[in-house]
Amino acid sequence: MHKVPGPFVPLIVQTVSAMNVQIAPSWKSKLETEFAKDYFQQLATFVRQEVQTQTIYPPGKLIFNAFEKCGFDQAKVVIIGQDPYHGPGQANGLCFSVNDGVAVPPSLANIFKEIHTDLGKPVPKSGNLERWASQGVLLLNATLTVRAGAAGSHQGKGWEQFTDAVIRLLADEREHLVFMLWGKYAQDKGKHIDRQKHLVLTAKHPSPMAANYGGWFGCKHFSQANNYLEAKGLGAIDW
């Protein structure tokens, strides 16, 4: 576990005692210049003010959990979500993931159903996806924080620019990654990824509103990802 040095520290970590931001060393070195940019300083100020006056999810120490659980060099698959869950105890800093003991949300339930159909895996009882992250699945939300009970409340504050930079770093500096882009929002964020260098899989969003109208179930993204990774000698993910 490693604290982030530099400008992010005085703006968030030192002003909010409950925060103990964690991030893997490989990401720290890649993102230091991004943390120093003006937009990120403004974002950090906004998040600090929100934490001081509102209930924010996920907890401060888990805001960068995706980057702590899956290092830059360890990433094999990138899944892009949108917002953290905004209900009590749900968000743990990994997109689509919830803490142990929390009811599995509908979108994640549909993800598990597709994995069961695609790979024959039993449907897990826990929606905690840390087991994926530890195998090299970067579970990246476009926006890393949200106000309790207010979906989308931290959109347009700078997080999207930051996560665009993260995707660009991965797409430019790594090769043979699998990007899973579910729904138009994720597909727009990944539109610049080189399809010759990486495997880009697209489908409808797994939310019931989208999935029930076709385009999610039967996408077979998980077997496609594993076939690609094994063909490149990188090892399959145990979904």
Closest C-alpha to 75, from 189, 186, 201, 167: 167
Q: How far is CA 151 from CA 82, 83, 112, 156, 158, in A?
A: 10, 7, 23, 13, 16
The C-alpha atoms of residue 46 and residue 65 are separated, in whole angstroms, by: 19
The C-alpha atoms of residue 157 and residue 224 are separated, in whole angstroms, by: 35
What is the residue type of 34? E
83 is a catalytic site residue = yes
The C-alpha atoms of residue 53 and residue 219 are separated, in whole angstroms, by: 43
Candidates 73, 83, 118, 164; catalytic one: 83
Q: Is the peptide bond before 7 cis (omega within 30 degrees of 0)?
A: no
Element (H, E) at 147: strand 146-147
For residues 90-101, b (16+ Cβ closer than 10 Å) or e, as one string? bbbbbbbbbbee
Mapping DSSP to helix (H, G, I), strand (E, B) and coil, where does residue 115 land?
helix
Q: Token pair 């490693």 is at which residue?
A: 2
Catalytic annotation, residues: 83
